[in-house]
Chains A and B, each alone.
Chain A
């Protein structure tokens, strides 16, 4: 117990300097701007900044990336409230009540509430990060190949289920396509090239960052240009300093949304957007003012913005301790940590125990910066939303080209970005979620090595996959998720529920 506090204290000393303040400041600000601009998502922001922070010291680089991440998820609330367009997918639930509030002339109050809810949400999440990550890392030490195999399958199945709203099948298709993408290139045991067709670039594999920049950058550019132009709800802004009385009034909603957001964040691949939606749905169910939801409920706005920001530290928990990202931006962070020589996974509390606590401080520092900027920079941020998309999107795409190239200096990665941009756009138009695809690309290697290792250990015997205790928990949960998603089972459950409470 006290060990943790001491480590937390010593981790702070790493960041007690001016460079840190400077980096947190600019990075959070850039994050907020990236989040506020429709067409630039948190994933894209973290991916771009990964290339920019290439030459920095590891802990400062990760600090910058986490600041961008926190800033972007918050910044998206601005466009959600003022334009009715979520700046990042995480702010989709914010539009439901934020935009009606803005149309009633309460844009300032809505932005103030979004700011304070985001701050509190992140802080709730960070408490869990500090408390759970070390324990989970220790627990994960008992994972063997069988467990990692099931963890990968569980991650894909549950991410597919939770990120696709009405069509589970499409979530799973996206997830398994992601796993197949990861099969391209030299495999991890014998270095035998797969699906490379004699091409040496393909034999090197598909990089996560080029694929992500395509799926979240170019696809977003195409979607923004295809849609109608957005209009600002209001240019007049009332007071933006958050009302603490309103916040206190909704303390239960805030606490509930914070916990829900964090838990959703921990689930592999299921990130801020779902955290916000589930918090929002739970708040509506429990609310006394249910009728107001969707037409300008302060409670709904607070629930969504607490839920999405709480998911950030939540998503970092499995990323740090299992090397399984809890969300798409966390997936990029994971890749960035590897680039900087930090190896996330169960060994992290043994090899780099300070790092986990440093991450805790990074999130706290970014949250403080986010709160300050959120209150101070309302008007300048308003002007950014007025930039027409015709002038912004070409610049975004230039960044999409630079991002993948800068890491490896291969034009091949630019082509990969273009390919995934077009594929991602088509899939998105047909309502396939992107998160399971991303998770699949990350988990593919884990699945591949561990399935084969496990088969060697058991000499082809499948029983240990089902009888080892942790494996059993994982496969039974996975099977339950699949069975409950089947249409006949769902119909039966609905009939049963109706019969129970007529």
Chain B
């Protein structure tokens, strides 16, 4: 049987789902049955989450067992040089993007005025992704200037459009 590329990830996901399902089942079982309110026992709040948890346990177990059968524990064929370089570059881009978004949404927004947080985020994002160590001073300055211009424009236009034209409140 050929080894699917995701087979190891599937094994891990299957185990996580299994554990998650069991935890949800335990939590559902422990939910108040509201006996003191004399409710019909068939309407107890824990019933449906409990049933769903059992389904998740079954699906998670099926996923884990299937990936074991497909050779999840066998060695993987190594990537070629070119693939490895692209994979590394993709990971760097992904984590840079993820970190910037996370800091903006969970740290900056709500603590700083919205326009300032937005300007900082857009500026940092563009500079981080357009940064090229081969650039000379003038090109770099131009790129940074361009990023600042886009950041400023976003920070002015978006709050204006949302708050004044569409009467929506911003963080």
Residues 300-323 of A at the B interface (beta carbon under 8 Å) = none
A91-99, A332-340, A346-354, A450-458 - the one binding chain B: A450-458
Which A residues are in CB contact (< 8 Å) with B113? none
Which A residues are in CB contact (< 8 Å) with B158? 395, 398-399, 402
- Decide if B72 is an interface residue (CB 8 Å cutoff): no
- Contact B6–A431 (Cβ < 8 Å): yes
- Contact A169–B66 (Cβ < 8 Å): yes
- Decide if A226 is an interface residue (CB 8 Å cutoff): yes
Known contacts A173-B60, A430-B6, A430-B9; A409 and B94 CB within 8 A of each other: no
- Contact B53–A226 (Cβ < 8 Å): no
B40-48, B76-84, B134-142 - the one binding chain A: B40-48
* B5-46 to A contact mask, C-beta < 8 Å, 1/0: 010011001000100000010011001101001011011011
- Contact A192–B34 (Cβ < 8 Å): yes
Which A residues are in CB contact (< 8 Å) with B93? 225-226
Which B residues are in CB contact (< 8 Å) with A177? 56
Cα–Cα distance between A116 and B75 once the two chains are bound (Å):
51
Residues 378-411 of A at the B interface (beta carbon under 8 Å) = 390-391, 393-395, 397-399, 401-402, 405-406, 409, 411
- Contact A173–B17 (Cβ < 8 Å): yes
**Chain A residue nearest to B108 in the complex (CB):** A401
Interface of B is mostly: helix
- Decide if A287 is an interface residue (CB 8 Å cutoff): no
Tell me the minimal C-beta distance from B57 to chain A in angstroms. Answer: 10
Tell me the minimal C-beta distance from B18 to chain A in angstroms. Answer: 11
In-complex Cβ contact of B101 among A221, A226, A228 (8 A): A221
Which A residues are in CB contact (< 8 Å) with B101? 218, 221-222, 397, 418, 421
In-complex Cβ contact of B63 among A169, A227, A398, A421 (8 A): A169
- Contact B125–A460 (Cβ < 8 Å): no
- Contact B97–A173 (Cβ < 8 Å): no
Cα–Cα distance between A51 and B163 once the two chains are bound (Å):
11
- Contact B130–A390 (Cβ < 8 Å): yes
**Chain A residue nearest to B31 in the complex (CB):** A194
- Contact A411–B63 (Cβ < 8 Å): no
Which A residues are in CB contact (< 8 Å) with B51? 451
A13-21, A182-190, A360-368, A494-502 - the one binding chain B: A182-190
- Decide if A324 is an interface residue (CB 8 Å cutoff): no
Residues 444-467 of A at the B interface (beta carbon under 8 Å) = 447-448, 451-453, 455-456, 459-460
Residues 48-76 of B at the A interface (beta carbon under 8 Å) = 48-49, 51-53, 55-56, 59-60, 62-63, 66
- Decide if A417 is an interface residue (CB 8 Å cutoff): yes
- Decide if A139 is an interface residue (CB 8 Å cutoff): no
- Decide if B98 is an interface residue (CB 8 Å cutoff): yes
Known contacts A451-B47, A452-B48; A430 and B10 CB within 8 A of each other: yes
- Contact A395–B52 (Cβ < 8 Å): no
Tell me the minimal C-beta distance from A122 to chain B in angstroms. Answer: 27
Cα–Cα distance between A183 and B121 once the two chains are bound (Å):
34
Tell me the minimal C-beta distance from A206 to chain B in angstroms. Answer: 14
Cα–Cα distance between A179 and B56 once the two chains are bound (Å):
10
Known contacts A180-B56, A448-B48; A54 and B166 CB within 8 A of each other: yes
* B90-112 to A contact mask, C-beta < 8 Å, 1/0: 11011011101110111001100
**Chain A residue nearest to B62 in the complex (CB):** A169
Residues 151-183 of A at the B interface (beta carbon under 8 Å) = 169-170, 172-173, 176-177, 179-180, 183
Which A residues are in CB contact (< 8 Å) with B43? 189-190, 452-453, 455-456
Which A residues are in CB contact (< 8 Å) with B148? none
- Decide if B160 is an interface residue (CB 8 Å cutoff): no
Q: A390-B126, A418-B105, A452-B43 are in contact. List 7 more A-B contacts (CB 8 A).
A: A170-B63, A194-B31, A225-B93, A225-B94, A399-B158, A405-B169, A422-B98
| 6 tightest A-B CB contacts, nearest first | A394-B125, A455-B42, A390-B129, A225-B97, A406-B168, A226-B94
